[in-house]
Amino acid sequence: MEFKVTELEREPVEFDLALGPGAVDLGEEAQQVGPLATNGRAEVIHEHRGPKEVVADIRLKGSFSGKFEVPCARCVEPVEIPLAADFDLIFRPIGVDGGASERSISAPETEIGYYQEDSLLLEDVLREQVLLSLPVRTLCSEDCKGLCPRCGANRNTQPCTCETGPSDPRWEALAGLRGRIKS
Ligand SMILES: [Zn+2]
Ligand SMILES: [Zn+2]
């Protein structure tokens, strides 16, 4: 769905959609399972920057929910996870802030995006919002045994005959630390 500034200038647009898998390109990071429900409202907000300079921003407020599959962080088998989030975002015309400051936008200001060619694609916004809401690390189960580092077998389903040498306590400490940082 495309929001055109010229149309939004006339009146805000409300939407309530169910997008099929594939409508939003999530790349390699996640697979959409079933419909992605989204609803909300798009409108133009005029930013008065000076007596003659008025910037037409698009404000997009809404929410999404759906089911996705992501690979288990240990055994890479797909794990189904529900995701849902609200968003309230401002998009400025690209170029209006000048190249340098657009690039220097820092993390706390990421709610500001940019639109090109006088329009904004809902699918592009949803891709970003879904990817942002993905958990850093997903496990198929808390005690997933993962893949054998030697033969690559999935040790949940396939006991392998590789030697399991004595584990080094230094690595175990490091692995535990990494788990705490990520979760
Ligand atoms: Zn797993
Ligand atoms: Zn093995």
In angstroms, what is the span from residue 155 Cα to ligand 1's centroid? Answer: 9
pLDDT digits (tens, 9 = 90+) for 122-132: 999 999 999 99
Q: Which ligand neighbours the alpha carbon of 74 most closely?
A: 1
Q: How far apart are CA 142 and CA 55, in angstroms?
A: 50
Order of all β-strands in the sheet with 54-71: 13-19, 31-48, 54-71, 78-93, 112-115
Q: What is the mean pLDDT of residues 37-57?
A: 90
Q: Is pLDDT at 39 greater than 90 in this prediction?
A: yes
| Nearest C-alpha neighbor of 39 from the set 70, 71, 17 | 17
pLDDT digits (tens, 9 = 90+) for 68-81: 999 999 999 999 99
pLDDT digits (tens, 9 = 90+) for 148-173: 988 889 999 988 888 665 555 555 56
Q: Which ligand neighbours the alpha carbon of 152 most closely?
A: 2
